[in-house]
Amino acid sequence: MTSKTQPTAKSPIFAAVHDTAAGLHQLGFIDQRKMRQYDALCINPIADYDSSRIRSLRDRFQLSQAVLAALLNTSLSTVRQWEIGDKHPSGSSQKLLDLLERKGIEVLI
């Protein structure tokens, strides 16, 4: 994973292993498939977001549902359905919610 925001490793040893693997991947010694295995081994998975967690996150940053939807590049009705509990965020929305929670609103603006 080569991004500006580093994912949280399970431990300092896993962080070192992942950094080494990422360097080898950039040099072409490790392919994408093997790098995904290192990601799964070394990095904590992104937590699930239920309706109460999304609501508390929105309250923490004093965002309306419409503003949160715009930040996550999703529709207002989707955010409403998340907060009702009819749907759950997945994929990029889940990752963006994790970034918002860990790094703050400035990362998404």
For 30-77, give the DSSP string: S-HHHHHHHHHHHBPPPPP--HHHHHHHHHHTT--HHHHHHHHT--HH
Residues of the chain with pLDDT under 50: 1-5
pLDDT of residue 107: 85
pLDDT of residue 7: 62
Please, which residues have CB within 8 angstroms of residue 89's CB and are 6 or more apart in sequence? Answer: 49, 54, 72, 82, 97
Give the H/E segment covering residue 78: helix 76-84
Tens digits of residue pLDDT in 16-42? 999 999 999 999 999 999 998 988 888
pLDDT of residue 45: 80
Number of neighbours of residue 72 by Cβ within 10 angstroms: 20
Q: Measured between alpha carbons, how far is 82 from 93 in angstroms, rounded to an integer?
A: 11
Q: Measured between alpha carbons, how far is 55 from 51 in angstroms, rounded to an integer?
A: 6
Q: Measured between alpha carbons, how far is 49 from 51 in angstroms, rounded to an integer?
A: 7
**Per-domain residue ranges of the chain:** 1-45, 51-107
Give the H/E segment covering residue 17: helix 12-27
pLDDT of residue 81: 96
Fold (topology level) of 51-107: 434 Repressor (Amino-terminal Domain) (1.10.260)
